[in-house]
Amino acid sequence: MPPDVEESLAGTVVMYSSVSVDGFIADVKDQPGPLFDWLSNGDVPLDDSGGLTVSRISYDYIRPYWDQIGVTIVGRHVFDMTDGWDGTFPAGVEHVVVVTHRPPTEGWDPEAPFHFVGGVEAAVATAQELAGDRLVEVAAGDVGGQALAAGLVDEVRMDVVPVVFGSSKRFFGSVDTQHLLDDPDVIIQGNRVLHLHYRLRRPSA
């Protein structure tokens, strides 16, 4: 069963992405390939855009999760690749924190709810302040891996897609030390996707 949505979410940081079975979030061309196919292979609209339709079981898992997110943290590479989503992040997230050492792109709307910070620690602190009693989501990959290595991630969510990429961008970025997770408390089989949820195992005092 999914975690109780009534539990306190304040300060909780979740690392999340769709991922191949061999642990990559993009192919060698820096594209998602079939990783997002599950977001359009069902008959239940996931949002009001009309472009995302999933199976009922995936909807019942993903939609409540999206509704809990107050802020998403991404890296500058993703921001540039998507042209900043034209100032409106998908899934209805109210704020986006971008980890970058460069200023926003020329012509960027200063009213857009995007916040540019210079490091992952500052990004998480900013995101938690903005999120209030809601979740902070950090995108898997380099930024998510930095947050994990810094001990800032509380939970890991992954949507595992049955494809092998062989190489490219790793879900956990450049993490090269051991981090123990608890047993998954969510294991949900969707249509061409396996939804998993783990909590980080904290070292004993």
Q: Which band of pLDDT confidence, cut at 50, 70 and 90, is reported for residue 8?
A: low
Tokens, residue 175: 């993490």
For the chain, the domains span 13-199
CA 163/CA 132 separation, integer angstroms: 37
Greater model confidence, 105 or 196: 196
The per-residue pLDDT of the chain, averaged, comes to 92
Residue 125 identity: A
CA 35/CA 8 separation, integer angstroms: 31
Query: How far is the CA of 25 from the CAs of 46, 83, 133, 191, in angstroms?
Result: 21, 19, 29, 19
CA 18/CA 25 separation, integer angstroms: 6
Q: Please, which residues have CB within 8 angstroms of residue 134's CB and are 6 or more apart in sequence?
A: 9, 10, 68, 69, 70, 71
Task: Match domain 13-199 to its CATH number in 3.40.50.150, 3.40.430.10, 3.30.870.10, 1.10.1040.10.
Answer: 3.40.430.10
For residue range 143-187, what is the model confidence (pLDDT) as tens digits?
999 999 999 999 999 999 999 999 999 999 999 999 999 999 999
pLDDT > 60? residue 2: no
For residue range 61-84, what is the model confidence (pLDDT) as tens digits?
999 999 999 999 999 999 999 888
Q: Which band of pLDDT confidence, cut at 50, 70 and 90, is reported for residue 6?
A: very low
Q: Which band of pLDDT confidence, cut at 50, 70 and 90, is reported for residue 129?
A: very high
For residue range 31-63, what is the model confidence (pLDDT) as tens digits?
999 999 999 999 999 998 888 999 999 999 999
The predicted model scores a pTM of 0.91
CA 107/CA 28 separation, integer angstroms: 31
